[in-house]
Every structure is written in C-alpha cells, then in structure tokens.
Structure 1
Amino acid sequence: MPSQFDITSLSLLQRARSDDQDAWQQMVHLYGPLVQRWCKRSGLQDEDVADIFQETFRSVSTHLDRFKPVKEVGSFRSWLRTIVRTKIADYYRKLNEQPAGRGGSTDQLRLAAVSDPMAEDSDEDAGEENALIVQRAMDLIQPEFSPQNWKAFRLVALEDYSAVEIAEQLNVQPQAVRQANYRIRRRLRLVLQDLMEPDDTPLE
C-alpha cells in the first residue's frame, strides 16, 4: 500500500497497479459511465449491462499491467474500449449459440441485425468521452480544494477569464488566482497521467 507521500506523487494508474483500493475505486468512478454507455449502445438490457460492467473491470484488474501508456498504442480509454467490445461480442456469441432461449426467435432476429456500434471510434465520440472523463476527474479532486480556489480555477480554465478579472471578483491578488489554477491543474494532470494523452485533455 502506498505511503501518504506516494499518494501525492504517483499517478492514479501507478497507484491502481500497486493494489491501492482507493485508486481502483477512482478508476471505476472515472471510466464506469463509459463502460455503461458502450454497453447500452450495443443494445444490452440493464441486467446484462451490469454483468458486462463487472466482467470488464474484473478483466482490467487482472490485466492492468499489460496496459502501456505509449502514444502509438493509444489511451487507456481505447484500451478499455477494446476490452468492453470483446466482452460484448462474447455475450452475443454465447446468446446466439443458445437453442431457443431468452427472447425466442424474435430476439435471435434482432441479434442477427445488430451492427457493431463500437466498430468505429469517431473523433466526435472520442472528444465527448474524453471530456466526460476530465469532468469526472474534476469532480473527484474538487473536495481537496477550497470553494474560492475552485471557483478561480473554473473561471480561468473553463470560462476564459483573466487572473486580474477573477482577482477583482474574489477580492484577492492575481498571483493567488494563478497559484490556485496551477495547483489544481497539476493535481488534475496527476490523476489523468498515463491514462490520457495531453492532447486529449480539454483543459490543456
């Protein structure tokens, strides 16, 4: 288990690989909604989504050391997406192998007509999903900072105010705004380090 110093100096991925349960829960917090989204796009019912969700993160836990955060290989999101796609394909293959089960002939016809909604990863989908991950990472770290510093960060990072403008609003020095923005960005980068390419982070 990492020490308190390690927690502040290691990336979320490094901590999860070290069997840090808090880090693992944070990984599920960041990426769980994407797994559910991909499953639902594939036509799965809620109970099946829950099963694929559990199988996916069980596989991630087992094979996390295999993920290599190298630009040519792709982001963690892409790696995770491949796992989900495999689990969904396995599910449909097993379902098609059943004689006349669940849903009968109507269900079989529906399955035969289902295209693979995860076959292509469009730039639009990738951008939307990366933005979702960043937002959930921000939700994760927000309690670590004072409301005033967080407000200053959001105004600078998301609403494009200058440090001088925000300092006037909050009745603080511009340098205090810059320091708050720097500290929060650095913390956010640490959470997402090795999980996302810098170009995929909207706040960069």
Structure 2
Amino acid sequence: MNSPFSNTSASLLQQARDQDQRAWRQLVELYGPLVQRWCKQSGLHDDDTADVFQETFRAVARGLDDYTPQKSVGSFRSWLRSIVRSKVADHFRRRRKQPVGRGGTDAQLYMDNIADPLEDDDPQEAEDDHKQIVQRAMELIRPDYSERNWQSFWQVAVEGETAVEVAERLEIDPQVVRQANYRIRRRLRMVLQDLIDD
C-alpha cells in the first residue's frame, strides 16, 4: 500500500510549485491540521475555519513561486503562519463591516482589544508546531512500512534504543534494524525537506 508520500527526488515545495497535484495534497495533508489549529486559536468557529483554511491554501498556491526559504527570516511554517494571520484578520475585518447588534458596544470594544493569538511566534509554540508537523509526516508515511520495520525505526529513532537491543527483542538481525531506521529517516527527510527548520 503506497501513501501519497511516495519517494521523490525533488522537494515537496518544488513539486507543488510545478503544479503537481499529488504534492499539493501532501502539503495540505501535512500542514492542514496546523492551519486548522491556528484558526481555532484565533477564535474562529468551524465554518469560518473551513473558509479561512481554503483562503490560506489559495494564497499559498498564488505565492509559492515567490517563497524562498531563508533561515534568518523564517521557515515555511512561519510563512504559512503569516498567511493564516492575514486571512484571519481579513475574516474579522469583513465581519466588523457587518452591523453590530445593539448593546454590544462594550463586548465589541473588548473583542477589538484582545491580542492576536497568532501575533507572537514564541519558541515553545514553534517547537510544538515542528513536532506536530513531524508527527503528521510519520502518520502519513507509516502505512508504507511493515510493522516490524516501523517498530525498528521507532524504537531506535524515538525511544533511543540501540539496533542490537531492538534486534534481540524482535528476533531479527541488527543490520535489518539499522536499514529500516535509515530508510524511514531518509524518507522523512525527503517529505520534510525545505518545510521545517533544521
């Protein structure tokens, strides 16, 4: 069974720039949950989140050719976050143009003065986002590997065990463990290439 994250030589971003529909699906599957979380953190309801989600990825499609990863400026995640922030602000500006109910002045003033939850990109939140992206990538590629190979990778890469320890437990050769670990790590790097900070 092949996931949509099959091996490719070019980066996911380059493939998306080249209008590769599979690459676009991968990008949305990988970053969609993060975009939804940011929308919800901004106080959007489910229907509004769906609208902002679509507007965000439309903007990504329009702007991807101009995006260049620059470590000093930020990563793809930071760029995407700025697009979400802009689309959320657009959403609230449109709503503000609608008539406000009577007696809602105090509530409206309060809402206008609430800080934007996406405004600051604090290091802890950036780390959480990074973990979510890597976790999502692992979920998406996992179906392409046997349970034994996945366990070999997981126990070495995530749990920090040695290949020898894992091999003894799984009753396989340590080289099989090393090979599974190497292949899955390489695959993750390919999927995440250009998408997360080093």
1:75 maps to 75
Determine the C-alpha separation between the residues in 2 that align with 1:89 and 1:22: 30
With over 3 angstroms needed to count, the CA separation of the structure-2 counterparts of 1:43 and 1:106, relative to structure 1, is: farther
1:201 maps to none
State which drifts further: 8-17 or 71-80: 8-17
Check whether the contact 1:7–1:15 (CA below 8 A) recurs between aligned residues. no
2:46 maps to 46
1:15 maps to 15
Task: Quote the offset at 1:107 in angstroms.
Answer: 5.9
1:156 maps to 156
Check whether the contact 2:75–2:196 (CA below 8 A) recurs between aligned residues. yes
Task: Quote the offset at 1:78 in angstroms.
Answer: 0.2
Check whether the contact 1:92–1:111 (CA below 8 A) recurs between aligned residues. no
TM-score (norm: length of structure 1): 0.88
Determine the C-alpha separation between the residues in 2 that align with 1:182 and 1:149: 10
Regions of 4+ moved over 4 Å:
103-107
Check whether the contact 1:12–1:193 (CA below 8 A) recurs between aligned residues. yes
With over 3 angstroms needed to count, the CA separation of the structure-2 counterparts of 1:50 and 1:110, relative to structure 1, is: farther
Aligned positions of 1:26-175 closer than 5 A: 26-100=26-100, 105=105, 108-175=108-175
Q: Counterpart of 1:8 in 2: which secondary structure?
A: coil
With over 3 angstroms needed to count, the CA separation of the structure-2 counterparts of 1:7 and 1:154, relative to structure 1, is: closer
The amino acid across from 1:92 in the alignment is F
Check whether the contact 2:36–2:49 (CA below 8 A) recurs between aligned residues. yes
State which drifts further: 67-76 or 177-186: 67-76
Task: Quote the offset at 1:180 in angstroms.
Answer: 0.9
- Unaligned residue ranges in structure 1 (runs of 5+): 1-5, 199-204
Check whether the contact 2:7–2:190 (CA below 8 A) recurs between aligned residues. no
With over 3 angstroms needed to count, the CA separation of the structure-2 counterparts of 1:7 and 1:62, relative to structure 1, is: farther
The amino acid across from 2:173 in the alignment is Q
Q: Counterpart of 1:9 in 2: which secondary structure?
A: coil
Determine the C-alpha separation between the residues in 2 that align with 1:47 and 1:156: 42
Higher relative contact order (CA 8 A, sep 6+): 2
Determine the C-alpha separation between the residues in 2 that align with 1:172 and 1:95: 61
2:183 maps to 183
Q: Say how many residue pairs are matched.
A: 193
Determine the C-alpha separation between the residues in 1 that align with 2:7 and 2:165: 34
